[in-house]
């Protein structure tokens, strides 16, 4: 067994934990700190290093290495954050090198969605699955793909930007945060769900939702309570998500499509729409029917487990340490 530091850096919060690996993984001393995203990169890393040292002191553990998940375009080979919209001071920042200098431990980094995919692959219910797609559903939509037991990265580690696959076309398609139109994220990200909800409420259909209470959580609670308009919102969201999943099934032929992130808690509400799209848009019933669409088995821990998995993916020998 080995103990690895898992660090998930978000635009608002940094989540940290020690992850003891083995047949059954164990999460030790989970904590979180404010990111302070506009502070200089070395200063952010200093706060993270202080938190890691405190965790190690409190537990008496010795870590073999550090894994980091970070939003943005990440060069995992050089350890550089090329660009991150949520972390403006990290532009062309040597994140792995700075953390290694401050902690004295080897560091591996990856894009946060790819890290989550590795976490599900190595620690989740998808352990042992050799071909899978993972989608992180939250403010935005990210993705990762395991094919033949290996993470798909592309030449710039920018492959599998699945949230920006187009599921609607034309000048009237909704605008996405990336600046183009019709992306999955424009329908399934939090802003997309809010827009679909507002459009449904504007029709005047009966609903318990009010203009002051139309967050994704509000819509989810209303749908679970039987509100037909709220249920219809998630069917529509699922339908567009299912269009994207149909593309991924045709391209990657996965055994599983795993939904993670905050919106994944609404997976049962989205499944009718997802199934309708898969029936309509998947070309081959055999590959469609073998692809199981499920919510992650690690809803609360996938971020830090994914970060730890980044280190294990780069240093598989650490598992035997």
**Token digits for 312?**
């294990």
Instruction: Looking at the structure, tell me whether residues 91 and 169 fall in a common domain.
Output: no
Residue 313 maps to which CATH number? Answer: 3.30.420.40
**Token digits for 241?**
């998500």
pLDDT tens digit string along 6-52? 999 998 999 999 999 877 889 999 999 999 999 999 999 999 999 99
Instruction: Looking at the structure, tell me whether residues 51 and 173 fall in a common domain.
Output: no
Instruction: Looking at the structure, tell me whether residues 152 and 77 fall in a common domain.
Output: no
Contacts of 177 (CB under 8 A, 6+ apart): 140, 185, 189, 191
pLDDT tens digit string along 264-316? 999 999 999 999 999 999 999 999 999 999 999 998 899 999 999 999 998 87
Q: What are phi and psi of 211, to 5 degrees?
A: -55, -30
- How many domains does one find in the chain? 2
Q: With H, G, I as helix, E, B as strand and everything else as coil, classify residue 170.
A: coil
Tokens 């209303």 sit on residue: 222
Instruction: Looking at the structure, tell me whether residues 99 and 172 fall in a common domain.
Output: no
pLDDT tens digit string along 42-55? 999 999 999 999 99
- DSSP conformational letter for 11: S
pLDDT mean across residues, the chain? 94
Beta bridge partners of 133: 145, 257
Instruction: Looking at the structure, tell me whether residues 152 and 241 fall in a common domain.
Output: yes
* Cβ(89)–Cβ(135) below 8 Å: no
């Amino acid at each position: 067994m080995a103990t690895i530091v898992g660090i998930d850096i978000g635009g608002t919060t940094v989540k940290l934990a020690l992850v003891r690996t083995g047949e059954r993984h164990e999460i030790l001393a989970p904590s979180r700190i404010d990111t302070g995203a506009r502070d200089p990169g070395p200063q952010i890393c200093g706060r993270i290093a202080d938190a890691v040292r405190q965790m190690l002191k409190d537990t008496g553990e010795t870590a073999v290495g550090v894994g980091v998940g970070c939003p943005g375009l990440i060069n995992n080979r050089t350890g550089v954050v090329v660009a991150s919209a949520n972390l403006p001071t990290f532009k062309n920042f040597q994140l792995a090198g700075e953390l290694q200098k401050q902690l004295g431990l080897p560091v591996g980094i990856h894009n946060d969605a790819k890290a989550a995919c590795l976490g599900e692959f190595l620690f989740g219910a998808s352990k042992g699955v050799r071909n899978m797609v993972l989608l992180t559903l939250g403010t935005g939509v990210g993705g990762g793909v395991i094919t033949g037991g290996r993470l798909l990265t592309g030449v710039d580690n920018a492959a599998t930007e699945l949230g920006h696959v187009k599921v609607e076309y034309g000048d009237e398609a909704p605008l996405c945060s990336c600046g183009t139109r019709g992306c999955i994220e424009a329908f399934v990200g939090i802003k997309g769900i809010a827009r679909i909800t507002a459009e449904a409420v504007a029709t005047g259909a009966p609903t318990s939702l009010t203009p002051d209470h139309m967050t994704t959580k509000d819509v989810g609670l209303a749908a679970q309570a039987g509100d037909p308009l709220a249920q219809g919102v998630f069917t529509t969201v699922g339908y567009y998500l299912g269009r994207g999943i149909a593309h991924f099934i045709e391209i990657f032929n996965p055994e599983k499509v795993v939904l993670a992130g905050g919106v994944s808690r609404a997976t049962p509400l989205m499944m009718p729409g997802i199934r309708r799209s898969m029936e309509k848009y998947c070309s081959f019933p055999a590959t469609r029917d073998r692809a199981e669409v499920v919510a992650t088995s690690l809803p609360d821990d996938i971020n830090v487990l994914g970060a730890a998995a980044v280190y294990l993916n780069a240093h598989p020998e650490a598992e035997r340490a």
